[in-house]
Amino acid sequence: GENVEQHPSTLSVQEGDSAVIKCTYSDSASNYFPWYKQELGKGPQLIIDIRSNVGEKKDQRIAVTLNKTAKHFSLHITETQPEDSAVYFCAALGGFGNEKLTFGTGTRLTIIP
Amino acid sequence: NAGVMQNPRHLVRRRGQEARLRCSPMKGHSHVYWYRQLPEEGLKFMVYLQKENIIDESGMPKERFSAEFPKEGPSILRIQQVVRGDSAAYFCASSPPFSPGGNQPQHFGDGTRLSIL
């Protein structure tokens, strides 16, 4: 089955700086890669996603890049703000008909004011 | 447009009791998924259902756990004869029907925190 690894497990950045979180996956059939933000006591919130036919996607301060050959994808947050502090999870989902998300172990991001 | 609704938010049970967790998907969503999250860990897939059908239950423990998504009403995750190891946060997600564009995003509720005394 699919295995997703995520690094780093914790990340602290100064407010206004950029944050990068990296994930690798094992199943070359995986074709959909969402990123979730989870705040304390809440469920995961979808913040951005990318499909395997695209190399990069951007939404305001958030961007995701995908390298299918190397089987890794990354989340980039620019101009970080205190409200970006949360746990971020990457995930991978297999081909059509395989609907189970495999999650990474999470990155606790802390923005230092 | 309400999101995925889960209740109860917190549930306390004694060992041997039954736990019932409910999930109402977003309006227009016909696919429901259950995931379990242990403290400081990622979410682990349990089961995927469509109305009146279990599509994939490969992540469900073979005993004591069951799930349903009836024609009317919410999806139910049922845990019989609970044990301390069942303590976790259980999250439900829903997605729209498939489209030619590929897999649909899964949107999560705020979960049920289950504590076993």
Within 10 Å of residue A101's Cβ, how many Cβ atoms? Answer: 29
What's the rounded mean pLDDT across residues B17-45? 93
Location of structure tokens 């990340």 = A11
pLDDT band for position B46 (cuts 50, 70, 90) = very high
A99: nearest CB among B42, B44, B56? B56
pLDDT band for position B99 (cuts 50, 70, 90) = confident
Report the b/e string of B32-64 with b at 16+ CB within 10 A. bbbbbbeeeebbbbbbbbeeeeeebbebbeeee
- CB pair distance less than 8 Å for B103 and A99: yes
- Alpha carbon distance A6, A20 (integer Å): 11
* Residue B12 contacts A where some CB pair is shorter than 8 Å: no
Average pLDDT, chain A: 94
Q: How close B53 gets to chain A, by Cα (Å)?
A: 14
- Alpha carbon distance A20, A77 (integer Å): 7
- Alpha carbon distance A95, A27 (integer Å): 10
Report the b/e string of A6-43 with b at 16+ CB within 10 A. beeeebebeeeeebbbbbbbebeebbbbbbbbbeeeeb
- Alpha carbon distance A79, A39 (integer Å): 19
Which pLDDT does position A52 carry in this prediction?
85
pLDDT band for position A97 (cuts 50, 70, 90) = low
Task: Say if strands A86-93 and A101-103 run parallel, antiparallel, or are unpaired.
Answer: antiparallel
Over residues A10-47, the pLDDT tens digits come to 999 999 999 999 999 999 889 999 999 999 999 999 99
B43: nearest CB among A46, A99, A103? A103
| Residue B75 reports pLDDT greater than 60 | yes
pLDDT band for position A79 (cuts 50, 70, 90) = very high
* Residue A20 contacts B where some CB pair is shorter than 8 Å: no
* Residue A21 contacts B where some CB pair is shorter than 8 Å: no
* Helices and strands counted in chain B (H then E): 0, 11
| Residue B4 reports pLDDT greater than 80 | yes
Q: What is the CA radius of gyration of chain B?
A: 14
- Alpha carbon distance B22, B86 (integer Å): 16
Which pLDDT does position B42 carry in this prediction?
86
Shortest CA distance from B95: residue in chain A: A99
DSSP state of A69: T
Q: Is the separation of the CB atoms in A15 and A113 below 8 Å?
A: yes
- CB pair distance less than 8 Å for A105 and B55: no
pLDDT band for position A96 (cuts 50, 70, 90) = low
